[in-house]
Amino acid sequence: MPFVKEKFHIEEETIAFLYVMRTLNYTQGQAQRHIAKGRLIINGESMTHTGTKVQGDVEMVFFRPKGTGVRPTFQNNDFMVFEKPSGVLVHPNTMSTPYSMLDEVRSIAGDNANATHRIDMETSGLLLASKHKKAEHHLKSAFEQRTIKKSYLAWVDGKLTESFTSTERIKVNKDGYDETKHKVLIAEDGKASHTEFVPLEYDETLDASLVACYPHTGRLHQIRIHLFHVKHPILGDPIYGASYAASDAYLDMIQSDEERVIQHGAPRLMLHAQSLEFTYGSRFYLESKVDFVSQKSLITPKALRVFNGR
């Protein structure tokens, strides 16, 4: 488990955040956030005041990466690029998360390394990670300013023959009692969004199209909701295009593998982060080495799948 709890003994009275900085080799900001999250424990209770003086026996909870030996497909002194598998989180979402890509990132480059963008757990493909704080700030800012160009590949339900652009506005669904499990919705009061889609291939037997996706904005589930909106949901999507009951079973983690492929059309979300193009000193164009096209073999035959996207 990446998050561990260890005991420490403080000989001389020390300000809490200074002790955390020295012990875990953190910056002041990292140490203060560490304490604010309740990860410095005295007499069994979390101590959250960063300026308090501490002495004696304490415990600390901290992230200790356990990489599995996955190597980046490209790296230099500033950043790394990984092929993230489907089903793996980028960051741990709780302290009990057994594994995430952050384990590999920090096993290679240390505690100041970090993933610089979000990829859904079930999406595979290129993940860009910084090796130090300066690179992290630069790359995260580039994503926010939309100067990093991304492309994705998706296998979608049905036949797509013409390129098209979606500029439907996207709104986060905050209604926990809604009849849909969708995390985002198309809504007039949503945020501006823009994706271009180019069909590349159609498999008549599977009734599935391979589509290149070019997001110009970075909204949550943007590609997924835009394709669902035009009635060509991504195959394997457990949320968009599936029935309420099927999505509910998936989210409650009670859905069997057999139900997954029948109800959603594939054992995973058939979306892949294919390329990244950006400037960091030099111009970089990085493309996935995974043969995602051939993964259409994972798609459930049309006659056997239940999919409500159309």
Provide the pLDDT for residue 180: 67
Could you report the per-residue pLDDT of 251-270, keeping only the tens digit for each? Answer: 899 999 999 999 999 999 99
Provide the pLDDT for residue 11: 92
Could you report the per-residue pLDDT of 12-43, keeping only the tens digit for each? Answer: 999 999 999 999 888 898 899 999 989 999 98
Residue 247 has phi, psi (to 5 degrees) of -65, -40
Provide the pLDDT for residue 2: 78
* CB within 8 Å of 86: residues ≥ 6 apart: 121, 122, 123, 124, 268, 269
Weakest mean pLDDT among 39-43, 82-86, 202-206: 39-43
Q: How confident is the model at residue 310 (pLDDT cuts 50, 70, 90)?
A: very low
Walk me through the domains of the chain, giving residue ranges and CATH numbers. Answer: 3-63 (3.10.290.10), 74-144 (3.30.70.580), 149-304 (3.30.2350.10)
pLDDT at 71 over 70: yes
Weakest mean pLDDT among 64-68, 199-203, 210-214: 64-68
Residues labelled catalytic: 120
Provide the pLDDT for residue 72: 98
Provide the pLDDT for residue 177: 54
Residue whose C-alpha is closest to residue 16's, from 39, 35, 43, 33: 35
Provide the pLDDT for residue 4: 87
Q: What percent of the chain has pLDDT over 70?
A: 96
- What is the average per-residue pLDDT within 125-129? 98
Distance CA 298, CA 40 (A): 46
Distance CA 248, CA 243 (A): 8
Angle between helical axes of 257-264 and 244-251 (0-180°, round to 10): 140
- What is the average per-residue pLDDT within 148-171? 97
Could you report the per-residue pLDDT of 172-202, keeping only the tens digit for each? Answer: 988 755 666 788 999 999 999 999 999 999 9
Dig out the tokens for 10 from the structure: 């403080």
- What is the average per-residue pLDDT within 241-248? 89
